Amino acid sequence: MPDITVRLQASIASDAIDSDLLNEALQEICELRKKSNDLEEILIILARTELPWDAEGGQTDAFPHFKERYLKAMHEASGLLGLDLRSTITRTEPKT
């Protein structure tokens, strides 16, 4: 299926209004907004999570709480980003 933006541009260029295409575009926009909001919530959680190390680099009492929140947030972000699916963005891993 062609990218929705390409299909919308073709529709605009031909002056054709396709209600199915508009509904599909609206649905995609709504899904992207929800993902954006969900990812923003994850970033807020991470930003507000106290780092579990003291000035010398030793673990503090906050480490178990930090680890739990961090792992949960990363799992949720991974699902939202579709890292379990192969796409043009996720099909290759960055070289380290």
Into how many domains does the chain fold? 1
Question: How many alpha carbons fall within 13 Å on the CB side of residue 57?
Answer: 0
25 within a domain of the structure (yes/no): no
pLDDT tens sequence across 13-61? 888 878 888 888 899 999 999 999 999 999 998 888 888 888 898 999 9
Please, what is the end-to-end C-alpha distance for the chain in angstroms? 34
65 within a domain of the structure (yes/no): yes
**Could you list the residue range(s) of the whole structural domain that residue 78 is in?**
49-96
* pLDDT at 1 (0 to 100): 42
82 within a domain of the structure (yes/no): yes
What's the whole-model pTM score? 0.64
3-state secondary structure (DSSP) of residue 90: coil
3 within a domain of the structure (yes/no): no
56 within a domain of the structure (yes/no): yes
- CA dist 2 and 10 (Å) reads 11
96 within a domain of the structure (yes/no): yes
